[in-house]
């Protein structure tokens, strides 16, 4: 069979792209692909951690002490740092996060604070791998851990220190506050670390009152 007349392209509305145009398009796609990961990296949060706060070192507490994992209010136990509470709102610090779960971090920093304050005692955090049994325990509940309406760092909750398996101990209601240096998250974290040091001061004082000798059964 013969075909007569001029041949026409199958898709007259789609001109064939030149090799140079194709390469230009591929380069554009590679540029977009390269920008994607960089944009993702730029959204990573600033990560903060509490630090041990020095205090007065003085022996006299029980020989072995366990710091129980603190109980932290659910509203505070989140990745983003809670900047302030009040006026029926919870404000988080944009782009700023804790380096680990808040209960675990508070527990380990409080343990380090007490180790420095009670050099004659063996002190460990709950769930640490140890080969000894604790004689006394420190328990902390945290209900406030941010800034108040006046811009001061606040730590609210309760503290309990007691023998394990025996009567005897003490407890405190905590309502501590400190000025924050500067307006950034770093200043708030430093002030909260200092407040946790004050909690350690109280716990160490109670532990010294318990004394080194376990009471009789």
Q: Find the CATH number of the domain harbouring 133.
A: 3.40.50.10610
pLDDT band with cut points at 50, 70 and 90 for residue 202: very high
pLDDT at 217: 66
The rounded distance, in Å, linking the Cα atoms of 192 and 180 is 9
Q: Is residue 23 part of a domain?
A: no
Q: Is residue 189 part of a domain?
A: yes
The number of folded domains in the chain is 1
pLDDT at 22: 36
Q: Is residue 142 part of a domain?
A: yes
Residue with the bigger pLDDT between 188 and 22: it is 188
Predicted TM-score (pTM) of this structure: 0.79
Q: Is residue 11 part of a domain?
A: no
Q: Is residue 165 part of a domain?
A: yes
45: pLDDT strictly greater than 90: no
76: pLDDT strictly greater than 60: yes
Which span out of 26-35, 179-188, 199-208 was modeled with the highest average pLDDT?
199-208
Q: Is residue 20 part of a domain?
A: no
> 46 and 85 in contact (C-beta within 8 Å)?
no
Q: Which of 66-80, 83-97, 145-159 has the lowest mean pLDDT?
A: 83-97
Q: Is residue 21 part of a domain?
A: no
* Residues spanned by the domain of 53: 46-210
Average pLDDT in the chain = 83
34: pLDDT strictly greater than 70: no
Q: What is the mean pLDDT of residues 74-92?
A: 90
Nearest to 102 by CA among 128, 69, 65, 129: 69
Q: Is residue 196 part of a domain?
A: yes
pLDDT band with cut points at 50, 70 and 90 for residue 216: low
Exposed e or buried b for every residue in 103-127, given b needs 16+ CB within 10 A? bbbbbbbbbbbbbbbbeebebbbbe
Instruction: Write the CB contacts of 157 (distance below 8 Å, at least 6 apart in sequence).
Output: 140, 141, 142, 143, 144, 174
Residue with the bigger pLDDT between 14 and 197: it is 197
């Amino acid at each position: 069979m013969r075909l007569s007349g001029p041949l026409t392209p199958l898709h007259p509305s789609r001109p064939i792209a030149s090799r140079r145009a194709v390469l230009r398009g591929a380069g554009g796609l590679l540029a977009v692909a390269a920008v994607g990961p960089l944009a993702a990296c730029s959204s990573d949060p600033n990560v903060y951690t509490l630090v041990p706060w020095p205090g007065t070192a003085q022996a006299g507490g029980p020989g072995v002490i366990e710091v129980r994992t603190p109980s932290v209010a659910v509203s505070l136990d989140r990745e983003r740092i809670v900047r302030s509470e009040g006026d029926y709102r919870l404000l988080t610090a944009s782009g700023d996060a804790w380096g680990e779960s808040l209960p675990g971090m508070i527990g380990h920093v409080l343990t380090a604070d007490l180790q420095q304050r009670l050099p004659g005692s063996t002190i460990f955090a709950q769930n640490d791998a140890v080969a000894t049994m604790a004689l006394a325990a420190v328990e902390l509940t945290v209900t406030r851990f941010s800034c108040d309406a006046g811009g001061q760092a606040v730590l609210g909750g309760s503290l309990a220190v007691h023998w394990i398996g025996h009567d005897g101990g003490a407890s405190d209601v905590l309502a501590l506050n400190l000025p924050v240096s500067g307006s950034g998250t770093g200043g708030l974290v430093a002030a909260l670390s200092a407040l946790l040091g004050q909690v350690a001061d109280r716990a160490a004082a109670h532990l010294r009152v318990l004394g080194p000798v376990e009471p009789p059964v």
